[in-house]
Chain A
Amino acid sequence: MSRKSPIKRVLVIDNESYIQEITKICLETVTDWQVITASSGREGIVKAETEQPDAILLDVMMPDMDGLTTFANLHANALTHDIPVILLSAEIQTADRRYYSEMGIKAAIAKPFEPLDLAHQIANALNWEV
């Protein structure tokens, strides 16, 4: 679900600072989107509530609260329920894609992602224009 605002805002939730950094640079290089980062599931939920991004890019394998638990929390929260979520995962199998889709996850992107293509993958999944 996209906001009316012309500039898209994307929240990246990943505990690896290198991944946060490369994701941010890749998206900001290709698009005019604004990238917000969070280093854990908990921080991500708070930022999703306050920042109301247009989309969330969520890492599956994280300490403390993993990606799927974080998603469940976002999905159950009225403030964040409608923000589309895209997973980032090292290993995605066909069975996983179906499972994610049933849960209400918009898409799953495999690591390592193609840096300059990441924005297009997100835009395609969410029917955005780049």
Chain B
Amino acid sequence: MQSDTKINILLVDDQPENLLALEAVLGDLGENLVRANSGQEALRHLLSRDFAVILMDVQMPGMDGFETATLIRSRARSRHAPIIFLTAFSASDQLMFKGYALGAVDYLFKPIESSILISKVTVFVDLFKKSESVQRQAAQLVAMNGELRQSEERFRSLSACSPVGVFVIDSAGHCTYANPRFQAICGLTEAQSLAAGWFPSVYAADQDRAIAQWMAYVQSSGDYSEEVRFESVDYTLRWMHVRSSPMLSAQGDLLGYVGTIEDITERKQAEETHAEMVREQIARQEAEAMSRMKDEFLAVLSHELRTPLNSMLGWARLLQSKKMDETSVARALATIERNAEAQSRLIEDILDMSKIIRGKLQLNCCAVNLIQVVEIALDSVRLQADAKAIQITATIDRSIGKVWSDPVRLQQVILNLLTNAIKFTPDKGTVEVRLEWENDEEVVRLQVVDTGIGIHADFLPRVFDRFRQADSSTTRSFGGLGLGLAIVRHLVELTGGTIRAESPGEGKGSTFTIVLPLWQGSDPLLNHSVSEDLEGANVS
């Protein structure tokens, strides 16, 4: 109840002018003045509300002041309502005693001195207010006690029935609370839990880590959330999710840490099972992809090897069975030879790849005159290029010296790039060879640039993978096993060089770039033998 709520004061007199006079005097108090013209009316008012004080005329027709007071006192609600009797004549002592016996607290004689009336009424108003306040406080106290009991009960049942372990650790590190689930998880009694906390239940091998993580948490301002293995009394391991947050007072002071422990063993097992299933599925898919790739490779291999075989076999049988004119015989033999050569190249590639895979490929390195090797390679592909009316141009920096490499393999690499360029360039295109310094005088760069079918950006990163051509129809269109560039890259890398492929896109040509370190040594014997090998070749 608010203090600005008005207090009720009951005025009882049969004379309206007396009531008016009382109202005039007491009006300044600002309280609620309730008028009653008779004892009955006063009792009616008392039925519905409480009064701080009752000012009552003794002499009233019908029920007089004393009778009214007797009835007021007989009701529990109004038993303690203070009554001040007002009387016009100087009452006898006997009459006054009667009044006091009926519970009157005072007597005032008419004419009433207004200041006395005000001060007396004020006393009772204050008293009423105080007692009301005390009652209010008492009621609040009762309500608070009830809430506290409820809250305690709620906490007790929450904690007791909680599916997770709950603990509290004070700022000094002592466990001050552990709920029943905590005790069950840790396999401890309440007293043991409070003495030891949860660390002793952690699996021995994980204890140091768990303690270190907890110490780090205590020193930080964040939350703690770790998955920890607990070892139960029967030595089985179970996964627990331990979480904790600092417990702060309203002022922000650290009171300790509240935490939960949740058994997540089943979730962990489900996750592990799921992960295992995913791993198995990936392994299965990889195996299937590998098997598919192998099947495709075998089909291509079979086709590539048997196609030339079919021609050779066919012509050989025809030569045996049928009389042929000289021109036809020559044609048959030329066809057999070309097909045998094609098959031989395929077999060489397969053997090279096989050696590379087994790590058995060996190089016979020496200082090699790069310009000569390039020119010999250019010469040997010229017929092939002419057949497709492809123009080959060469830009060669004559100041470039020797590289340390295997001359036969280097020749193979350059020939492979040139034949690839011719193979993938349409008729009347161009193939350009550039041999120049990379950027200093220790590294040289050999580029083969064509105006051919180009390489799709998606395929560029895989262009040097073995068994790869952009798609199986490319394999069919252009023949071959898709081993050439894989072998080339391997050979280049074996001699300390690098190779890269660039293409602005499909149909826009390709550029293959080999970067080789220049030979820095000086071994006249080796140089000589290489030069001799190359001198015999027909260099254009």
Residue of B nearest to A113 (CB): B310
Question: A90 near B299 (CB under 8 angstroms)?
Answer: yes
Instruction: Check: B476 CB closer than 8 A to any chain A CB.
Output: yes
Name the residue among A23, A26, A63 with the largest chain B CB count within 10 angstroms.
A63
Contacts of B473 in A (CB 8 A): 63-64, 66
Partner of B307, one of A18, A21, A91, A116: A18
Question: A64 near B477 (CB under 8 angstroms)?
Answer: yes
Question: B310 near A22 (CB under 8 angstroms)?
Answer: yes
Nearest Cβ distance between residue A22 and chain B, in whole angstroms?
4
- Distance A39 CA – B478 CA, assembled complex (angstroms): 14
- Distance A90 CA – B474 CA, assembled complex (angstroms): 18
Q: How large is the interface on A (under 10, 10 to 19, 20 to 34, 35 or more residues)?
A: 20 to 34
Take A63-B477, A66-B476 as given contacts and tell me if A22 and B306 are in contact as well, using a CB distance cutoff of 8 Å.
no
Name the residue among A22, A25, A111 with the largest chain B CB count within 10 angstroms.
A22
For residues 12 through 36 of chain A, which have their beta carbon under 8 Å from a beta carbon of chain B? 15-16, 18-19, 21-23, 25-26, 29
Partner of A63, one of B311, B313, B476: B476
Residue of B nearest to A15 (CB): B476
A-B contact count (CB 8 A): 71
Residue of A nearest to B339 (CB): A18
Instruction: Check: B321 CB closer than 8 A to any chain A CB.
Output: yes
| Chain A contact residues: helix, strand, loop or mixed | loop
Contacts of A21 in B (CB 8 A): 311, 335
- Distance A107 CA – B302 CA, assembled complex (angstroms): 20
| Chain B contact residues: helix, strand, loop or mixed | helix
Number of interface residues of B (CB under 8 A): 26
Question: B476 near A90 (CB under 8 angstroms)?
Answer: no
- Distance A23 CA – B477 CA, assembled complex (angstroms): 20
Question: A61 near B476 (CB under 8 angstroms)?
Answer: yes
Question: B302 near A90 (CB under 8 angstroms)?
Answer: yes
Question: A61 near B318 (CB under 8 angstroms)?
Answer: no
Contact flags (1/0) for B292-335 with A, using CB distance below 8 Å?
00000011101101111111011101100110000000000001
Instruction: Check: A104 CB closer than 8 A to any chain B CB.
Output: no
Nearest Cβ distance between residue A31 and chain B, in whole angstroms?
14
Question: B307 near A111 (CB under 8 angstroms)?
Answer: yes
Contacts of B317 in A (CB 8 A): 114-116
- Distance A31 CA – B317 CA, assembled complex (angstroms): 16
Question: A91 near B302 (CB under 8 angstroms)?
Answer: yes
Contacts of B335 in A (CB 8 A): 18, 21
Question: A116 near B306 (CB under 8 angstroms)?
Answer: no
Contact flags (1/0) for A100-121 with B, using CB distance below 8 Å?
0000000000011111100000
Question: A115 near B476 (CB under 8 angstroms)?
Answer: no
Which residues of A come within 8 Å of B, CB atoms? 15-16, 18-19, 21-23, 25-26, 29, 61-64, 66, 90-91, 111-116
Which residues of B come within 8 Å of A, CB atoms? 298-300, 302-303, 305-311, 313-315, 317-318, 321-322, 335, 339, 473-474, 476-478
Q: List 10 A-B contacts (CB under 8 A).
A: A18-B308, A18-B335, A22-B310, A22-B311, A22-B315, A22-B318, A25-B318, A61-B476, A63-B478, A91-B298
Extra contacts besides A91-B298, A116-B318, A116-B321 (20): CB < 8 Å: A15-B476, A21-B335, A22-B318, A23-B314, A25-B314, A25-B318, A26-B314, A26-B318, A29-B318, A29-B322, A61-B300, A63-B473, A63-B474, A63-B477, A90-B305, A90-B306, A90-B307, A111-B307, A112-B313, A115-B314
